Amino acid sequence: MTGQQALQALDAAIVEQERQRQAQADRVCDEAMQVARDALALWSQELKAEQKMTMTLDELLARWPTDIPFKGELIDDRGCMCAQGQVLHYIGGMTPDDLRRIRQADADRKTAELLGISRAHAVLLRRVNDSMPGAPTCVLTEPEKVLGDQAQRVLAFWRHLDAMTANDWQKFYAARAAAGDAARDAAWDAAGDDAAWAAARAAAWAAAGAAAWDAARATNEIQGAAVMRDRGQPFFFLPMFGFATPEEIV
């Protein structure tokens, strides 16, 4: 190889090395730009959501049939919200970051306050979400579709749970202790079960804390009162909360 050829080969190697370096730099730049675009898109989406934090309950109820809420968590990584998350965001003014930080029990309580419903009813909204026709709207506007024909008494009982004073709870715990575990375990041999009873039981259970079992079964006694009476079976759980019969709940 002559000296001239060696110089030409060296120039070619330098050119190729520069081409590869530039190609690598372009790839890194493209990747960085894509990351920036993705971050901007997410920021824009959340900014847009934050700018739409004014909505009445009626507007939200009207929106739900065509804008089905995401189910699974208050808000996901894309900014999609479940029914409860939308209430907290659009009516309560909570930001996406707020929704990601709040504890679920606090979210249930805040939703109840915003909508003027019981904590158990707020839990029901979260659990049902869009899992049945007409939901989540019907959870608030037509609860009979979710809870059965005794829905209004169930909702009244749940409001009573929220309003119980320290003295009321002392009376409850005394009544429960007097009943005995064996009697309590045997009491619910009543009226079978269905989806409405299961939904109500789960909501009451989640909202009633240490009284979860008893509140859930008292709720089912309200729903199954007619069947229990047909069987001659007395109410067991309701009296612990101060009601001899469902009709006493107002």
Segment 84-127, tens digit of pLDDT: 999 999 999 999 999 999 999 999 999 999 999 999 999 999 99
The per-residue pLDDT for 191 is 45
The per-residue pLDDT for 149 is 96
Task: Give the burial class of 163: count Cβ atoms within 10 A of its Cβ; 0-12 exposed, 13-18 middle, 19 or more buried.
Answer: exposed
Number of H helices, E strands in the chain: 14, 0
Quickly state the pLDDT bin for 82 (edges 50, 70, 90).
Answer: very high
The per-residue pLDDT for 49 is 53
Over the chain, what is the mean pLDDT? 85
Across 67-81, 134-148, 173-187, the highest mean pLDDT is recorded for 134-148
- What is the mean pLDDT of the segment spanning 188-193? 53
Domain ranges (residues) in the chain: 1-51, 57-142, 149-248
